[in-house]
Amino acid sequence: AQKITQTQPGMFVQEKEAVTLDCTYDTSDPSYGLFWYKQPSSGEMIFLIYQGSYDQQNATEGRYSLNFQKARKSANLVISASQLGDSAMYFCAMRADILTGGGNKLTFGTGTQLKVEL
Amino acid sequence: ETGVTQSPTHLIKTRGQQVTLRCSSQSGHNTVSWYQQALGQGPQFIFQYYREEENGRGNFPPRFSGLQFPNYSSELNVNALELDDSALYLCASSLVKALGGGNIQYFGAGTRLSVL
């Protein structure tokens, strides 16, 4: 079974500053993928960034980077130069067994509500 | 925008009724997954459809069922609605290749179901 833990129910950051959203995971699968999604109040889940468990380098997508520490089972999201439009709920998610292509189930954490202030 | 569309956006039903939610996948995608998101929670996996067959199911009772059509659009059906079925229902589409790969699931905006 897979489990995602997000311990920060809410975070505040000032505009233009960087913020780190924490995510720890637990799985017995040898291969897995880690994802971050953004959910504005409109409800749509917006894909931000992906990290494979066998990727050698940490993933980056524009202002988003994923700080992947496999030994600690953590996959923290770093947002640089925060913008007002970044205010939303952020979910960390995992999918196991990606190398064999088996299954497509995402296991989500409970989310972190980020508020960007002027 | 992801190209995944869901209808209707909002729905109100009474306990015991049946409901059908619809999802149109992103062009070129062959897999649809459905999730239930209760208020204040992360989404929970209901099931997925790959090439018109159910291919993976979460911890949901049989009264949750689905279909995937040849054009890869999908329906989620819920029978005998209960109050706890009130939630945001999210559909996600992806392109699953034969062997692995980090396929990305792209979500629609969801259908908000209220059961009274």
Q: Give the model's pLDDT for residue A99.
A: 56
pLDDT(B98) > 60: no
pLDDT(B3) > 80: yes
The residue to which tokens 């699953």 are assigned: B96
> Is the CB of B102 less than 8 angstroms away from the CB of A37?
no
**Residues β-bridged to residue B78:** B19, B64
Which chain B residue has its CA at the smallest distance from A33's CA?
B102
Contact yes or no for B13/B113 (Cβ under 8 A)? yes
- Residue B100 neighbours by CB distance under 10 Å: 16
> Is the CB of B109 less than 8 angstroms away from the CB of A104?
no
A&B contacts, CB < 8 Å: 78
Going by pLDDT thresholds of 50, 70 and 90, the confidence category of residue B1 is low
Q: What backbone phi and psi angles, to 5 degrees, belong to A15?
A: -55, 140
**Which chain A residues have a beta carbon less than 8 Å from that of B35?**
106
- Kind of pairing, strands A112-117 and B5-7? unpaired
Query: In tens digits, what is the pLDDT along chain A, a chain of 118 residues?
Result: 889 999 999 999 999 999 999 999 999 888 889 999 999 998 999 999 999 998 889 999 999 999 999 999 999 999 999 999 999 999 999 997 655 555 678 999 999 999 999 9
Length of chain B: 116
Q: Over the stretch B24-50, which tens digit does the pLDDT of each residue have?
A: 998 888 889 999 999 999 999 999 998
Q: Give the model's pLDDT for residue A97.
A: 67
d(CA A42, CA A54): 34
